[in-house]
Amino acid sequence: MEPHNEHAAGEVLHQRGWRKAFTVKEMVDTWAGLVGKVEDGYGDMVEEYTNDLYSRNWLHEAWPILNERAIVLWTPRIKTLDDRFRAATVFDDGIAMSQFHRISGFDPIDMWWWRRHPRLLVGELGRSLRTAGATDSS
């Protein structure tokens, strides 16, 4: 398959079932927004959180179909956000998240963000994750 530019990749993913033809910028911005909320204490419902995590899934799916220019442009920003997300979350191998969302089909190495939960357990998400056995970790 020939590599695509950012907009064409969004169209390809839309044809594969994503609700619209997102751009890389839209999904990087969404991922950045989630990372910032997780760092500050994500208090929305678990359904909102899982929906927000899909922005990282989209980026993961887009990478193999993007052209080299797009990859070179966006990789440093995504790596920085990924590092921030890892720092603001705790690895529990998906035990807490799997009680609210099916993650067994997600590759545990490539889709690592599903196997972590926020360190700060606040609001509705915090209450839900605590019922699934998650604990605050500083």
The domains of the chain are located at 6-131
> Could you give the CA distance from residue 91 to residue 87 in angstroms, rounded to a whole number?
10
- pLDDT per residue over 81-107, tens digit each? 999 999 999 999 999 999 999 998 888
Residue 136 pLDDT level (bands cut at 50, 70, 90) = confident
- pLDDT per residue over 24-41, tens digit each? 999 999 999 999 999 999
| Under 8 Å between Cβ of 71 and 63 | yes
DSSP 20: S
Q: Pairing state of beta strands 89-91 and 116-118? A: antiparallel
The DSSP line for 32-83 is HHHHHHHHH---S-HHHHHHHHHHHHHHHHHGGGB-HHHHHHHHHHHHHHHH
Whole-model pTM: value is 0.91
User: To 10 degrees, what angle do helices 24-40 and 68-87 make?
Assistant: 10
